Amino acid sequence: MDLPVILVAALSATGTTVDAFFARLAKGAIWQDQAIRSPDGEIVIQAYLAPDGLRAVVQIGNESWYHHPFDTIHAYGLLPSAEAMTTRDVPLAAVLQHPLLAPLQIIARSTVALNSDKPELGVSIAVDVPRITYPFFRDRS
């Protein structure tokens, strides 16, 4: 299974191995009160295995969420400069900074307001996220 590096880094931040994540995923959806959380609550992972592949949401801090497989980050309350809103294909750190994301080779393809009538709500950032392939064996028992 191809996992986005954001998810792999988030699992590491929570102290969860990829194998442990797969074991939980094989048993069913990982939602809400069953979410995987970092000790400081800064990172929260929810996921399920849909018929067409993995679906996951990684909360990064209090106001940002990465959505897989859509490769989109919703950053609520983020008000980037006008330049950032028109810049394309730049390192993600030019638009959004967080210690989890800093070492990752992620490119921000574009940034748009979540709601053009209320730009103060934040932005949606389309990102190119590298993937790492791991073997996943679903328990069919």
Look at 80 and 51; give whichever has higher pLDDT: 51
> How many Å from the N-terminal Cα to the C-terminal Cα in the chain?
20
Question: Is the pLDDT score of 119 beyond 90?
Answer: no
Q: For the segment 10-42, what is each residue's pLDDT rounded down to a tens digit?
A: 999 999 999 999 999 999 999 999 999 999 999
Under 8 Å between Cβ of 15 and 127: no
List, as one string, the DSSP characters of 74-136.
EEET----HHHHH--SEEGGGT---TTTTTS--EEEEEEES-TT-GGGEEEEEEE--EEE---
Tell me the mean pLDDT in the region 53-72. Answer: 97
Residue bearing the bigger pLDDT, 119 or 80: 119
Mean per-residue pLDDT for 124-137?
93
What's the pLDDT band for 1 if we cut at 50, 70, 90? Answer: very high
Average pLDDT of every residue of the chain = 92
Residues 40-48: contacts with CB under 8 Å, at least 24 apart: 42/13, 42/100, 43/10, 43/13, 43/14, 43/100, 45/7, 45/10, 45/11, 45/14, 45/16, 45/21, 47/7, 47/21
State pTM to two decimals: 0.92
pLDDT digits (tens, 9 = 90+) for 89-111: 999 998 899 999 999 999 999 99
